[in-house]
Structure 1
Amino acid sequence: MQVDEFTRLDSASAKGVTNFTYYYSLLNLEKSEVDLESVDEIIRPGIIENVTNSPELKIYRDNNITMDYKYYDKNGEFVTLISVTPELYNN
């Protein structure tokens, strides 16, 4: 599913009963082009805010699920993981 012009959601999976993982591709970037500092400063807070406030994700919050967001570059190389734990969204 195309999220925006830069990002595609490729799949999602559950790991046990406490983890849910989204797999994304960065469509126009190679791993070497990704500024991980900017990801931590800009993208990570937005993801945490979304998990914390989204009505669609309430079921996950209610069950203390850790939400993992794994990003891969246009060649399928792993770029980064953003993990949102119950401690982050219950603050």
Structure 2
Amino acid sequence: MKIRIKNQIQFDEQVEQIDQTYDGEWQKKGAYHYLRFENEENENVVLKFQDEELVMTRFSTPKSLMRFIKGGEALIGIPTPVGIQQFITKQVITRLI
């Protein structure tokens, strides 16, 4: 299946538009859906989601995890070479087509 990720990332006044397409696979376990794909850096990425939440795990070194809550914000920490950087994620729209 094709997985398309469209996103807008904003750091202060700087805005970056993301539009990426990957070959991947879908699976459902209980109330959760799972999409798995390999990104352009050859890292496995898993999107785990249900109606109220989406969690993206990138199996890199170190592993990174982002959480998006429907209609809300979540505080996340991303490991970087200069230490853990904290961000607030804000989920606006999630669609599975």
Fold shared per TM-score above 0.5: no
Q: TM-score, normalised by structure 2?
A: 0.27
Which structure's residues are more often helix, by fraction?
1
Which structure's residues are more often strand, by fraction?
2
Per chain length, whose mean CA-contact separation is higher, i.e. which structure has more relative contact order (CA < 8 Å, sep 6+)?
A: 1
